[in-house]
Structure 1
Amino acid sequence: MNWTSTVLKGLLTAGVFGLGAWLSAEVASAHGYIEKPASRGYIGSLEKQEIGWQSALEKYGRVIDSPQSVEGPKGFPEAGPADGHIASAGGGLGQIDQVMDRQSADAWKKQDMRGGLNTFTWKYTAPHATSIWHYYITKKGWDPNSPLERSDFELIGTETHDGTPASNNLTHKINVPTDRSGYHVILGVWDVADTPNAFYNVIDVNLINDGLVDTEAPSLSGPIEVSHVSDRKVMLKWQEATDNAGIKGYDIYRNGQKIGSTAQAFYTDTDVMPETEYHYTIKAIDLSGNESVASEEVIVTTLPLTKDTESPSAPTGLHTMKVTESSVSLMWTASEDNVGVKEYLIYRDGKQIGTTVNTYYEDKGLQPGTRYSYTVSSRDEAENLSLPSSHLEVTTVKDDSNASGEKWNAAKVYTAGMVVLFNGYEYEAKYWTQGNQPDSSDAWKLLSEASVEWNPQKPYLGGDKVTYKGHVYEAKWWTMGSIPGASEIWILVEK
């Protein structure tokens, strides 16, 4: 595909202009994008290495620094981004702008693609709990010179998930239509399971088709077996199906209704009641979307109710989504439980401050420039409490309303010696720079004696101070990526 040369050029140019600048765009705190075939936003982040930051900014907008931030309300196509703002997801909830919504037949780079089975690979920078990915393509006869509208798209494939983090589901096999050719736009939507949002990625392709279509259905190889039954759980397994092209997965039906899908030859149903009879069947789905006939039915009766004494697992992956002068937005990976998690308890500095049924929480009314320590625990319906998550240390943004100096502007050029304010701290430019964020780029030197949160992608010089897990460390010499407390490069100066 044409994107290969763009990727290689971006990587080579990154070596010339500095690895730190390249990495800063790849490892920002937000969430994910389609890497292959490259989404429009990701191509922009690569192209800035070829044409320069300012030219890329004018062409693609702020997405060039954050291709993983094309986030908007989920519910597409009935809801989600409005007509004319699909490519940018309406500006990514303020994380980017809407420059990517410009649409014409020659506005964007196109990648050659053949119809039929294609692999779509995601790059996750925060692998949120996930319910489903769904893929769409512009219909035959669409107008490439008009803004993208919901009615321009039709569904071509889905990839369901079990609500766990997306990190174990990087690639999806999607059957791209063979009944159209030329310029089309493919839209990939990643629905987060535990927030109201989704991530939207458009891919500009030049379709090349030869009319070959797989119509052969897969075949099941044997009956369903019951591997485990309890009062609240039924575990099923079966032999792998066969197909001329390959098996994508299996759909599971309970009492005639589809209840889930899996790529493996086993499935666990936890949405069952004690002492209840259930009827299960499965169907195999091949890589072209053809489905087998249903399996023979297996009948399962769950066991009588037993007392639940098992605690949920501790929440993992506690991190911030946004930090302001007076608020901290937290997010974490869901706990697991033998019956089900009822709620999460949020603690600040050892004291409970709230509960939520979601895997995110906003703590408001905080003081500027103040360090806080957070943990999260989970509780099930039987009041069993999990162990707490790992501690997360967060410092709110300093109040710079009374500070003198100019606030950093991403679009402005700075030269050596110029001083700016960023998140309440003063930074001095070491050399010519534009668009490099002061708290994560080697182009800036922190002037104040304060310590900022350690950033694994930022180079530090001897004497620089950082905060990591509630402690302050000072670098002995130049370092990047060495974890404070785990490397002799850092000296503990304040507990």
Structure 2
Amino acid sequence: MKKNLLRVTLAASIILGGSGIFTAQDASAHGYISSPPSRAYYGALEKNTIGYQAAQQKYGAVINEPQSLETGKGFSKNFGINLFPWETGASGNGPADGKIVSANDALGSQISIQKENYWKMNDINTGKLDITWHYTATHATSRWTYYITKNGWNPNSPIKRSDLQLIKDVPFTGAQANTSLTHTVDIPADHKGYHVILGVWDVSNTGAAFYQAVDVNIKNGTETTPPKPEKAPATPTNVNATEITTTSAKLTWAKVDNVQEYNIYRNNNKIATTSANTLTDENLTENTTYNYQIEAVGTNGQLSEKSNTVTVLTKSAEQKDNQKPTVPAGLHTMEITETSVTLMWTKSEHFLGVKNYEVYRDGKKVTTTANTNFKDTGLQANTTYAYTIKAFSLGGNPSQLSEKFSVTTKKAAVTSGKSTWDKTKVYNSGDEVFYNGLKYQAKWWTQNEKPDESDAWKSLSNTAVEWSAKKAYNAGERVIFQGKTYKAKWWIKGAQPSTSNVWELV
């Protein structure tokens, strides 16, 4: 097998311009594959070569945000890989066939166009392959999966699930994605010519994932790297556990030569794979003993002996809490609409663990949450809001407030005479509005009744919305409840989709 080492490295930085490609507004976005350049990233690069208008016509809005190809996760379920029980679930199985590359047309449908010799290709060889993710914001992560088009796929038809085969599954612990993480995937020896590689990054504490397609020309050329040693790598040493709390422990170990990644074992069960020499294991139980070992995976695929066992005893919540948690950092947006802002931030640290966070908007508390993300709704269009976050330890000790983060909601959209819902306006029967990106029509006179909650409105969109106990639903309407999608069999109001036979899973 010919080998071409192009490691999959995940690097994180907040981009504030400088490169000539992004602006400060892009700092709220997330991640894209930069090497070999993904289809989305080529769009961002080409706007500086073929011109902004030409690039926008070919690639669409992704030329400004290659890092924002985000939609529902669950794509791996089509290939026999289920979500972890502890992670936030997906509302479906990921993007629809034909819209996989564009993440359900998150920034338009242009990059889902599939034509031979239409997209810029990267020359590679079969064997070991390395791709670099550039993170503009790291997130808690449950896994990465990598796919390649099968032999015999149609390069002139939008990509669907049946066109793809799984080539790498990299499970993770739910911790923040390590900024120096590296994955190595194998390009099948029987592949040649034009193919598409799909990389999917699942966020653990939301129902979202990021999708990136890389167009490649597999040349089956000569090796571009020195031959790999056939002997097994050395056993990892200097394994230590630090930053132990009631629910987590940080593991570190000395780097080993000729290694592509490490396997981490907890109580003899493999829990994660990483190319970095550090990992934070989370979701542990307080006052409990855990045993860890590290195993090195050589660049030739050989496994080392497992390291000596390191024993960790998580802290007890009964210990005296006499210190403040670290200040929440990295506050950024996941999504901005006319009426909502979805926030995310980096987890705070405390020797006992962090219980929850308080979110403040313009100095006033709006919620308390145990998560590191929050969707603030009911906002005004084209309005600037300032957010701060405060963390609380298990013992109730508060951190200092985070730095202030300002966000401006989008302007109210006007499409064919229809506008975004305004709680101050009066609407009559037949009036149509947009609310949270979906279209609704008034059934009768109404004012200050949210379209996703009030019976005065009916949805004109096929997209499922979050279930509301306040709203009546007709046969065929779809809702999302506890991460799952349900369809009403007949008229229903107030009955939870998970307990009523009026609702069926779809």
Q: 1:364 to 1:275 in 2, by over 3 A?
A: closer
SS at match of 2:104: helix
* Distance apart, 1:231 and its partner CA: 7.7
Report % sequence identity: 44
SS at match of 1:77: helix
AA matched with 2:187 = V
- How does 1:285-434 map onto structure 2 within 5 Å? 285-295=297-307, 306-309=318-321, 310-368=323-381, 370-396=383-409
In structure 2, what is the equivalent of residue 486 of structure 1? none
Q: Deviations over 1:359-406 (max 9, x none)?
A: 2222223345554332111223332322211112345556698xxxxx
AA matched with 2:272 = G
AA matched with 1:33 = Y
* Distance apart, 1:187 and its partner CA: 0.9
Q: Is the aligned partner of 1:284 residue 2:283?
A: no
In structure 1, what is the equivalent of residue 102 of structure 2? 88
Q: Which has the higher helix share?
A: 1
Asked whether the 8 Å contact 2:182–2:274 carries over to 1, the reply is: no
Q: 1:306 to 1:362 in 2, by over 3 A?
A: closer
In structure 1, what is the equivalent of residue 187 of structure 2? 176
* Distance apart, 1:109 and its partner CA: 2.2
AA matched with 2:368 = T
Q: 1:44 to 1:280 in 2, by over 3 A?
A: closer
AA matched with 1:260 = A
In structure 2, what is the equivalent of residue 103 of structure 1? 114
Aligned-partner Cα distance in 2 for 1:27–1:182? 35
Q: Is the aligned partner of 1:257 residue 2:256?
A: no
* Distance apart, 1:113 and its partner CA: 0.6
Aligned-partner Cα distance in 2 for 1:44–1:304? 51
Q: Is the aligned partner of 1:208 residue 2:222?
A: no
Asked whether the 8 Å contact 2:148–2:164 carries over to 1, the reply is: yes
SS at match of 1:89: coil
In structure 2, what is the equivalent of residue 473 of structure 1? none
Asked whether the 8 Å contact 1:130–1:161 carries over to 2, the reply is: yes
In structure 1, what is the equivalent of residue 497 of structure 2? none
Aligned-partner Cα distance in 2 for 1:302–1:321? 32
Asked whether the 8 Å contact 2:233–2:297 carries over to 1, the reply is: no
AA matched with 1:81 = P
Aligned-partner Cα distance in 2 for 1:356–1:26? 26
Asked whether the 8 Å contact 2:328–2:402 carries over to 1, the reply is: yes
Aligned-partner Cα distance in 1 for 2:168–2:50? 35
AA matched with 2:210 = F
Q: 1:283 to 1:49 in 2, by over 3 A?
A: same
The structure, 1 or 2, with the larger RCO (C-alpha pairs under 8 Å, 6+ apart) is: 2
Q: Is the aligned partner of 1:218 residue 2:232?
A: yes
Asked whether the 8 Å contact 1:224–1:236 carries over to 2, the reply is: no
Aligned-partner Cα distance in 1 for 2:19–2:192? 40
Asked whether the 8 Å contact 2:333–2:344 carries over to 1, the reply is: yes
> With structure 1 as the length reference, what TM-score do the two structures score?
0.65
Q: 1:285 to 1:313 in 2, by over 3 A?
A: same
* Distance apart, 1:167 and its partner CA: 7.4
Aligned-partner Cα distance in 2 for 1:295–1:218? 14
Q: 1:397 to 1:236 in 2, by over 3 A?
A: closer
Q: 1:369 to 1:46 in 2, by over 3 A?
A: closer
AA matched with 2:233 = S
Q: Deviations over 1:256-277 (max 9, x none)?
A: 2112334344555455445645
Aligned-partner Cα distance in 2 for 1:54–1:227? 53
In structure 2, what is the equivalent of residue 483 of structure 1? none
SS at match of 2:119: coil
Larger radius of gyration: 1
In structure 2, what is the equivalent of residue 448 of structure 1? none
Aligned-partner Cα distance in 2 for 1:322–1:358? 16
The count of residues paired between Structure 1 and Structure 2 equals 378
SS at match of 2:158: coil
Asked whether the 8 Å contact 2:173–2:282 carries over to 1, the reply is: no
Q: 1:276 to 1:22 in 2, by over 3 A?
A: closer
Asked whether the 8 Å contact 1:217–1:291 carries over to 2, the reply is: no
Aligned-partner Cα distance in 1 for 2:67–2:315? 46
* Distance apart, 1:305 and its partner CA: 6.4
Asked whether the 8 Å contact 1:241–1:247 carries over to 2, the reply is: yes
AA matched with 2:34 = E
Q: Deviations over 1:429-486 (max 9, x none)?
A: xxxxxxxxxxxxxxxxxxxxxxxxxxxxxxxxxxxxxxxxxxxxxxxxxxxxxxxxxx
Bigger mean CA deviation after superposition, 316-325 or 61-70: 316-325
SS at match of 1:60: helix
CA RMSD of aligned residues (A): 3.7
In structure 2, the gaps of 5 or more residues are 1-17, 78-92, 415-506
SS at match of 1:151: helix
Aligned-partner Cα distance in 2 for 1:276–1:25? 44
Asked whether the 8 Å contact 2:338–2:409 carries over to 1, the reply is: yes
Asked whether the 8 Å contact 2:327–2:401 carries over to 1, the reply is: yes
